[in-house]
Amino acid sequence: MQFVPSTPIALVAIVLLLVLGARRGAWVFFALLPFGAAAAFNLPALGGASIIVGDLAAVAMFVILMLTPGAGASLIGSVRPWQPGFYLTLVIVISAFSAIFAPRFFAGLTEVFAIARDESRTAIVRYPLGPSAGNITQLFRLVLGYLVFIGFATAFRRTPKVDSLIVAMIVATTVHFAMGWIDVLTFAAGIDSVLDFIRTANYTIRVTDTMAGLKRMIGGMPEASSFGFFSLGLFGFWLQYWLAMHRSRAAPWMLAMATIAVLRSTSSSAYLSLIVFLIGFSVFNFFRFLRPEAERRSVAVTVAGAA
Structural contact between residues 233 and 261, judged by C-beta atoms closer than 8 angstroms: no
- Asked, for residue 245, whether it belongs to a domain, the answer is no
**Domain residues for 63?**
2-170
| Amino acid 176: pLDDT | 96
For the whole model, what pTM was predicted? 0.83
In the chain, the number of structural domains is: 1
Q: What does the alpha-carbon distance between residue 139 and residue 133 come to, in Å, rounded to a whole number?
A: 10
Q: Report in angstroms the alpha-carbon separations of 281 from 64, 123, 245, 300.
A: 35, 36, 17, 12
- Asked, for residue 157, whether it belongs to a domain, the answer is yes
Q: What does the alpha-carbon distance between residue 33 and residue 180 come to, in Å, rounded to a whole number?
A: 13
Tell how strand 39-43 and strand 49-52 pair up.
antiparallel
Write out pLDDT tens, residues 167-192: 999 999 999 999 999 999 999 898 88
- Asked, for residue 85, whether it belongs to a domain, the answer is yes
- Asked, for residue 112, whether it belongs to a domain, the answer is yes
| Amino acid 179: pLDDT | 95
In the chain, which residues have pLDDT < 70? 46-47, 70-71, 114-124, 133, 158-160, 288-307
| Amino acid 228: pLDDT | 94
Write out pLDDT tens, residues 209-264: 888 888 999 999 999 999 999 999 999 999 999 988 777 889 999 999 999 999 99
| Amino acid 109: pLDDT | 75
From first CA to last CA, the distance across the chain in angstroms is: 52
- Asked, for residue 128, whether it belongs to a domain, the answer is yes
| DSSP three-state, residue 41 | strand
